[in-house]
Amino acid sequence: MNILLKSVKIIDKNNESLHLKTRDIHIKNGIIVKIAAKIEPEGKTQVVKHKNLHGSIGWFDSSVSFGEPGYEERETIENGLQVAAQSGFTDVILNPTMHPCPDSSSDIVYLKNAAANQLTNLYPLGTLTMKADGNDLAELYDMKNSGAVGFYDYKLPMTNANLLKIALQYVQNFDGLVYSFPMDTKIAGKGIVNEGEVSTKLGLKGIPTLAEDLQVARDLFILEYTGGKLHIPTISTATSVKLISDAKKKGLNVSCSVAVHNLIYTDAVLEQFDSAYKVLPPLRTKADTKALIKGLKDGTIDFITSDHTPMNIEEKRVEFDNASFGTTGLETIFGSLNQLLGIETTIDLLSKGRERYGIKSPILKEGEPACLTLFNPDETYVFDEKHIESTSKNSMFIGAELIGKVYSTINNGQYITNE
């Protein structure tokens, strides 16, 4: 690799000397060898020029799902990582959604090996309980030693409060991160959308915000009692934001995330009965989206995620009640978030979060490995199925106008371009 990036406007709030500056960047053998106002190419150098070229450190997504092993028709690990790279992501956290679920060290080793030698780094989560059934803790210590960065029964609430207590106490011995999905199953019942005016009008069973709020409050009380590290993924209600904000003010070691679609859409879109909008947690109200955006801006919500969940056509093109939850999101998170929050805030949110998982954040500096995302923040286009590189096409953003296009991604001595 011998690449010269010409006239890159750098977006990096943590790098005062380069933030909003336009620079040439020379990369050789995967290392940044020079950053300067002007660099002339020498020898066999690949010169990269683009209209309105911007760059930042590589992006991070804390919640992606593929299918392999078990559901390869949805997405293989190889293709999923290719999609992530083309979407600008150099590091992703993989949810334990495969079959069999990863509840042992050998499962984690398999996932790491399957993702080896790719541009995008994959960091797997192991399940919190054996077979994700909520009964007995999985091999947490062994999985941590094999590369698991956290423990999560994906989208399955921890109904046994005592088991969550024991997990939080146990992982303190090796600095483990415990996930708890924010939903009380007894309150949620058989609900599939947000409980409110829209669900009543459409005759769809609702999941009240109370189901999330009660679970979050319970988990925070347990965390206060036990100590340890807790992550609450993809919150969706205004009360959750308030509860987590208060917990952080107490000094509790809690983090949380929000899925981008819960910022963009409300349950009003359900009037189309389009199963692409069926997600968990469900799309909520305008008041909730406003609170979530405020929580992002004030730091209560630690990071944003695509919550990329590919589903094959048989899971989605059925009656709304019977459709599976989930939408793809890797390919649309940049364009949708940029439109909502502007480029500087967007890049800051897409770049943060690694430290929570013990992952070193890349540095844009001479002598450091090149880990970069290159993009045009001003290109506007209508997202269409032809833009989807994922095997599954279940995106709720089809037909949406997005602002921002990823040009290319550089990491691990590899260069992928969308041109």
Catalytic residues: 307
Give the containing element (helix H, strand E) for 26: strand 22-28
**At 87, which amino acid appears?**
S
Opening angle at CA 50, ends 46 and 51, nearest 5: 165
Helices (H) and strands (E) in the chain — how many of each? Answer: 13, 17
C-alpha dist (Å) from residue 275 to 98, 264, 378, 390: 22, 17, 30, 18
C-alpha dist (Å) from residue 404 to 49, 52, 394, 410: 17, 11, 21, 18
Q: How far apart are CA 15 and CA 64, in angstroms?
A: 28
Beta strands at 46-48 and 121-124: parallel, antiparallel or unpaired: unpaired
Handedness of CA 151, 153, 158, 163 (dihedral sign): negative
Residues 6+ apart with CB under 8 A from 188: 207, 208, 211
* Residue 314: Cβ-neighbour burial (10 angstroms; 0-12, 13-18, 19+): exposed
